[in-house]
Amino acid sequence: MPKDRNARDRALSRVAMRAELLDAETEQALARAWRDRRDEAALHRLINAYMRLAISMAGRYRRYGAPMNDLIQEAGLGLMKAAAKFDPDRGVRFSTYAVWWIKASIQDFVMRDWSLVRTGSTSAQKALFFNMRRVQARLEREARAQGETLDRFQLRQMIATEIGVSARDVEVMEGRLSGADFSLNAVQSSDEEGREWIDVIEDDALQAADLVEADLDNARLRDWLIEAMRSLSPRERLIVRERKLRPDPRTLESIGTELGLSKERIRQLEVQAFRKMRKSLEACSHEVQHFLA
């Protein structure tokens, strides 16, 4: 299978290298034909002419472990996005414009492929992912040349300053780049009695005692709220129910139309109802202060 994949990569590269080289005028004409007339033949010719650029850029990211064929596919997608958005009237060569789309497409794929855990999405995090090791090696080399030794804290701070991220981001990225994902069902030791890693993860779900206590608190709150609602007039209860107890609360205007009142009057009655409820709840028990905070 790897041999077949390598053969396909070489074949695709040979085809791309044989593609025509476009001069600026031809390139502009093809771009306009696609933009103005949706001429697919012109689009196909434009993309084929610059597929060698896409393949060349894909090759720069092989060190991240992704299959070259996948990198080429992502580079091709970036090239097509560039062709779809390119404006030939701006006076820029298509290759100059396409480089950024190809690079973005490849980098997004590499970061998705690196780990099941999302490695980063912002431009700063991407810069950290793709430049951290290079910057770290340069900083260490420069320190050695001056007879200095950088500890981990100093190195992280310097990398953070260089790339424009926080030292915490650098620390997190170090951990993600240090190793691949592993299964939580992996056994901790080689013996048969070894536990799986998932067995040592603490269960943060509510325990039985917590559930009982939560049920009691909810029942107490429900009784308090029922008592507070009894202190309201029928009209005030309707407003509170329609405004706060429905999954899709009604507007002040719709309730006002039903009751024959203005929107502002409904708002005043709502404020008045909440004031009454608060007084009733405060009278029920001093414990309610915990829930009102």
Give the pLDDT confidence score for residue 214 in this predicted structure: 67
User: Minimum mean pLDDT among 22-31, 139-148, 203-212: which range?
Assistant: 203-212
Q: Is residue 286 part of a domain?
A: yes
Across the strands, what pairs with 196? 187
Q: Is residue 205 part of a domain?
A: no
Same domain, 9 and 95: yes
Same domain, 15 and 85: yes
Q: Is residue 185 part of a domain?
A: no
Q: How far is residue 131 from each of residues 18, 54, 116, 166, 169, measured CA to CA in Å?
A: 33, 21, 21, 14, 13
Domain membership of residue 127 as a residue range: 123-177
From 146, 115, 148, 150, select the one nearest 135 (Cα to Cα): 150
Same domain, 8 and 103: yes
Which amino acid is residue 282, in one-letter code? E
CA distance between the termini of the chain: 64
* Nearest-10 crossing angle of helices 51-59, 2-17: 140
Q: Is residue 202 part of a domain?
A: no
Decide which of 87, 114, 141 is a domain's last residue. 114
Residue 104 token pair: 């973005």
- Residues 238-246: what's their mean pLDDT? 86
Residue-wise pLDDT for 35-70, tens only, equals 899 999 998 899 888 888 888 888 888 877 778 888
DSSP codes, 6-32: HHHHHHHHHHHHTSPPPPHHHHHHHHH
